[in-house]
Amino acid sequence: MPSTEKKQRASDLVADQLAARIQSGDLVDGQPLPSERSLIEEFGISRTVVREAVLALSNRGLVEARPRYRPVVRKPGIDAAFTAVESIVEHLLHEPGGVKNLFDTRIIIEAALVRQAAESADKDDIVALRTALAINKEAIHNSEEFYQTDIAFHNVIYQISNNPVLPAIHKAYTSWLAPQWSQMPRLPDRNQANFEAHQAIFDAILARDADAAEAALRNHLNAAWEQVVKTFVGI
């Protein structure tokens, strides 16, 4: 049997055993993996096999590997799952229509979330939304700050569901779409328009009007997409 296949099987075996330790709690979140030398001695393998095993764990989102640093364990969780598929998403974003497809899924999710917020947001949720909206307004003339407060406002909408998967989805969207959004022209008049859209969403949620909340959200994100198209011709 070819040696490359044996080596690949060996690295997979090591990765699986280390993954089992992480999932059992034997290796805890934030703890460095054992050193290369320790793993070589423990498993009777080469440095190359160790590094392939660590790469496999990194691709699964179970360790954070940086050059010149020992890999660090990352607790298996929702964020790790999205991190693990990041390279796949990056590939899809370079496919024709890839950015639009991802953005459309965001609209679908957020439309449902604002409807839910209009129906079930409690007093604390309303306070969180109102606070995020006020901070967003204050940042209108500082475009970099406005961008961050825009993200924060939408994040509150994801938080209202009390479903930990949804904020992780928002974090992933923010990360995956950042290369496009970071190149968007940021002007106070555009910030003002986005703030007014946020205000409309908030007002509809406050009024417990799910239809109006969804309509305001869709108008907001559709307008945002139109700006993307103007900036990136042929996207």
Q: List, for residues 131-176, the tens digit of each pLDDT value.
A: 999 999 999 999 889 988 999 999 999 999 888 888 888 888 887 7
Per-residue pLDDT at 101 exceeds 60 = yes
- pLDDT of 166 reads 86
Burial of 179 (0-12, 13-18, 19+ CB in 10 A): exposed
More confident residue, 121 or 181: 121
With a pLDDT cut of 90, the percent of the chain lying above it is 47
Confidence band for 77, pLDDT divided at 50, 70 and 90: low
The C-alpha atoms of residue 231 and residue 34 are separated, in whole angstroms, by 48
Name the region of 234 (left: φ>0; alpha: ψ -120 to 50; beta: rest): left
Could you tell me the pTM of the whole model?
0.66
pLDDT, the chain, mean: 85
Rg (the chain; Cα; Å): 22
More confident residue, 38 or 74: 38
More confident residue, 88 or 72: 72
With a pLDDT cut of 70, the percent of the chain lying above it is 84
> Model confidence over 172-213: pLDDT tens digits?
888 777 766 666 667 788 999 999 999 999 999 999 999 999
- pLDDT of 2 reads 46
DSSP 130-187: HHHHHHHHHTTT-HHHHHHHHHHHHHHHHHTT--THHHHHHHHHHHHHHHHHTTS---
> How many CB atoms are located within 10 Å of the residue 85 CB?
14
- pLDDT of 167 reads 84
**Which DSSP state fits 62?**
S
- pLDDT of 155 reads 93
